[in-house]
Amino acid sequence: METRILGKDLEVSAVGLGCMGMSHAYGRPSDKKDAELLLEKAVEMGCTFFDTAEVYGTADDPHHNEKLIGEILKPHRNHIKIASKCGIRFDETAEGVNKPLIPDGRPETIKKSIEGSLKRLQTDHLDLYYIHRIDNKVPIEETAGAMKELIEQGKILHWGLSEAKEDIIRRAHKVCPITAIQNRYSMMYRDYEALFPVLTELNIGFVAFSPLANGLLTARYNNASEFSESGDYRKVMPQFSERGIKENEKFLAWIEETAKAKNATPAQISLAWMFAKKPWIVPIPGTRKIGRLKENLLSVEVKLTQKEVTEIDSMLEKIPMSQVFGGSKVE
């Protein structure tokens, strides 16, 4: 598979695999055997970039995802890049499926978290380690300083921020150069395109989570789709509501038409559009299904010209679409 460079020298596959959904936010966790088949197929197809976090888990096992990834990918560790995250916890006192996040960017928390992640992931270092959300009670310089220490100790090779804005990025980068920002980005959520100039200036990569708008951009959902399992966040996502599905009808029909013209799927067009935007954007779509995995990884073969990208951007500016899930509330 084609590769891309994040920051100065972190080389990863052009498409990564977001592993969260195997353990968190999409109903019951994946069966271990199914997860093994999926991850092995990803490696076989050339995916080298796997994304997890210490809080991706279940009520019974809050660190389920790191443990799962660590065990299954251990035989491939020397040939892949693993990214994880620290710096948040869920407010377990809250009711509902989408519990608020409580950020914690204190250096002592970061240093404790990395030890747990290394143990669960069965490795002596992480290739990329993010602050999962910004803690406004802790100066970002202190958080960046802790990450710098971890790099000096060899426990992490690169670091990044998730859901960060320009001022925070610039301040943190002065303390310790940032390799990547991981923010929400898709055809339905383009707010962070405003960061592209500063990322270009500072040579920072952009890792796009939810690049398919939590699956809506596969164009496979409609009003008959149900998300009844406990812990499935899609039941509260606006794009999957009855109103959202109705608002997105023209948009999804247009994507299907565009994809058909390129002999591709809507998901592949969505990802190909992202590849053509900037050479340092790496999407990390998640899935539990091998068919979807193949579809996503093969999206690198779909090429869009700059003229086609401009035409798509123009259409995105004017075609009606619903609001999209913006993530858990940060307290």
β-pair partners for 83 = 51, 128
Please check whether residue 52 is in contact with residue 69, taking contact to mean a CB–CB distance below 8 angstroms: yes
Active-site residue flag, 56: yes
β-pair partners for 10 = 6
User: Can you tell me whether residue 18 is helix, strand or coil?
Assistant: strand
Q: What DSSP designation does 52 have?
A: -
Q: Which of 56, 130, 185, 221 is catalytic?
A: 56
**Cα 52 to Cα 207: distance, rounded to the nearest angstrom:** 13
- Burial level of 124, CB count in 10 A (0-12/13-18/19+)? exposed
φ, ψ (nearest 5 deg) of residue 53: -165, 155
**Cα 143 to Cα 122: distance, rounded to the nearest angstrom:** 25
Rg (CA), the chain: 19
Residue for token pair 């320009």: 166
In this structure, are strands 88-90 and 17-18 parallel, antiparallel, or unpaired?
Answer: unpaired
Residue 298 neighbours by CB under 8 Å, 6+ apart:
268
- Of 201, 204, 196, which Cα lies nearest the Cα of 159? 204
List active site positions.
56
